[in-house]
Amino acid sequence: MDGTKPTIYDVAQRCGVAASTVSRTFSHPSRVNPATREKVRAAAEEIGYLPRPLARAEAPGRTRTITLVVTDIANPYYVPLIKAAQSQALEKDYTLALTDSDESPHVEASNLRQLLATTSGAILATSRLSDDVIRQIAEHRPLVIVNREIEGIPSLVVDTAGGMRKAVRHLAAIGHRRIAYLAGPRNSWINSARWRAMKDESGSLGLDATFLGPHVPNVQGGHEAADALMLERATAAIAYNDLIAIGALQRVQAAGVSVPADFSLIGCDDIFGSDLTSPGLTTIAGPTERLGRSAVDALHAQLTHHARIDPTLFDAHLVTRGSTGAPRA
């Protein structure tokens, strides 16, 4: 490509169909057979093509609706964020449209292209899209990204990197020298930020840090992470999120490992239920409800005042519960 925006003709050439078929795929998808439809959408995503509905000017009488995209609606982390965003949206006289990307950049892109044709802007929470695709969408609709940083796009980030450093210092203070990171998805920006912070802090304290993953960020992913973990010599682990930590806790306890007597474990996000495990899960917490409200406020500022929103960093802190303790001598 020569720097110009991709067209339907570029998509057609990419996947070997007529330009009219590409047009129908996005304007009347029911008229295109599913296999061709998927091929066209995949080609469009690969080259960064945005269908015309996103390029239309704001239509008179468009409803005051904003879109919130989350990666997995089943993850308890999103519940307070969604409720806070919805409450703040109602306060600002918007309707909130919620969509779940199911941890898939393809699903996320497809949902956004459909929803943004009829809504005013979007909040992308822990998006799995590439930086280039997000920038292209931002050319047509105001965007706010949560737990992600992209230059030029308003971003709200909980400082879980700082939280990871606090977690590493906590483990070092109680005597751990070998720790593992139970990683989340490969295409997660925040996953990379958390690992870098853990690795750097471990290095500065003279600890050994091991990366295990990637893993699906749910309880099953935690089970798989624990299987890999039990082959390591680490005495403690920090997980990408609480769901992986809870899954790991279940699996190591089933294998006869005592937590924290034999092994210490730390999660991230302080979701509902992290204090209900046995023992309670030590975890890194941030102001999730405030994040949801602030995301709506930032999007509203763009929509009403075309304001430039500076990146915002929210503090994270360590919540110490029973899953961490000194290692055996």
- Position 2 scores a pLDDT of 56
pTM equals 0.81
- Position 58 scores a pLDDT of 45
CATH number of 160-286: 3.40.50.2300
Q: What is the pLDDT of residues 3-49, one digit of tens each?
A: 577 888 889 999 999 988 888 887 767 678 888 988 998 898 888 88
Q: What is the pLDDT of residues 160-181, one digit of tens each?
A: 899 999 999 999 999 999 999 9
| 234 closest CA partner among 221, 220, 248, 247 | 248
pLDDT at 55 over 50: no
Mean per-residue pLDDT, 315-328: 97
CATH topology classification for 1-43: 434 Repressor (Amino-terminal Domain) (1.10.260)
Cβ neighbors of 32 (< 8 A, separation 6 or more) are: 21, 24, 25, 40
Domain range annotation of the chain: 1-43, 160-286
- Position 314 scores a pLDDT of 97
**Conformational region of residue 124, where left means phi above 0, alpha means psi within -120 to 50, and beta covers everything else:** beta
